[in-house]
Amino acid sequence: MYVCPFVSFYHLKILDLQQNGFYGSVPPFIGASSLKALYLNSNKFNGSLPIQGILPPCLSNLTSLRLFDVSGNQFIGNHLSSLLGSLNSLEYIDLRHNRFEELFSFSSFVNHSKLEVVAITSDNDKFEVETEYKD
């Protein structure tokens, strides 16, 4: 399914594309900096089986983003900590049921004073969560 570009929606605040069966790459329009909430969960981005895809770097432009849900897409990659480190306005993040491969550290959220909910699980045994903050 083709998702049309939303580049002209400069004032778009909420983008809800959850549970649509979208596939292919995550569209670059998602880097629109006005977004406050982004729901991409339960789709098939980069969709052959197994469903895989990489979270695009343009997501780091979403500096006003408060809610970020990409659960259930089977995203892969090992740059999650650096991507999330730039999203300082986050209040809620759901990364469950993806295939990230890295040692994830909660120190990525050291500047996220508004963050209230973090949901992280991975369907990949190469993903580990560091639970102690080391200064």
Predicted confidence at residue 91, as pLDDT, reads 96
Q: Where are the domains of the chain?
A: 14-130
Residue 85: count other Cβ atoms within 10 Å of its Cβ: 16
Predicted confidence at residue 3, as pLDDT, reads 46
Predicted confidence at residue 128, as pLDDT, reads 74
How far apart are the C-alpha atoms of 52 and 89, rounded to whole Å? 27
Predicted confidence at residue 55, as pLDDT, reads 67
Tens digits of pLDDT across the chain (135 residues): 444 454 456 788 888 888 887 776 666 555 566 788 888 887 776 533 233 456 666 677 788 889 999 888 777 776 677 778 888 899 999 988 887 777 777 787 888 899 999 888 777 777 777 766 566
Range 14-130 classified under CATH 3.30.2310.20:
no
Predicted confidence at residue 1, as pLDDT, reads 42
102 within 8 A of 72, measured Cβ to Cβ: no
DSSP H helices, the chain, are 80-85
Predicted confidence at residue 80, as pLDDT, reads 74
